[in-house]
Amino acid sequence: MTRIFETMMSDRDDDKPDGDVGVATKTRARTQRPPLYKVLLLNDDYTPMEFVVHILERFFGMTHAQAFELMLVVHKKGVAVVGVFSHEIAETKVAQVMDFARRHQHPLQCTMEKE
């Protein structure tokens, strides 16, 4: 058994002069997280508050209380962030809200911007 170990050690020593041992390193590219986008709901003087609450519940999964509170922020401040998503999801949410508002003949505006 000792003989096998000595043979294996002598084979390793032949690869590097003076018994130096090297460490193999492998660099990996660090993947970046995709940028996130804020979905914004804009206030107008024509869309009913109940409709905005319905939009927030239906497309953003909010409870009635959360939706009502955020609708008031939109109403008072003129704009509010209703969610932060990847580009594709934010784009889809904006399209869904805009389409739904148009089908119900409301001028509600929904946009997105990079976070």
What letter does residue 18 receive in the DSSP assignment?
Answer: G
Q: What is the pTM of this model?
A: 0.73
User: Which has the minimum average pLDDT: 23-27, 55-59, 63-67, 99-103?
Assistant: 23-27
pLDDT of 72-114, one tens digit each? 999 999 999 999 999 999 999 999 999 999 999 999 999 999 9
Written as one letter, the residue type at 95 is: A
Burial of 36 (0-12, 13-18, 19+ CB in 10 A): middle
Name the β-bridge partners of 81: 40
Q: Which of 88, 70, 104 shows the shortest CA–CA distance to 112? A: 88
Task: Tell me if 89 sits within 8 A of 104, measured CB to CB.
Answer: no
pLDDT of residue 27: 77
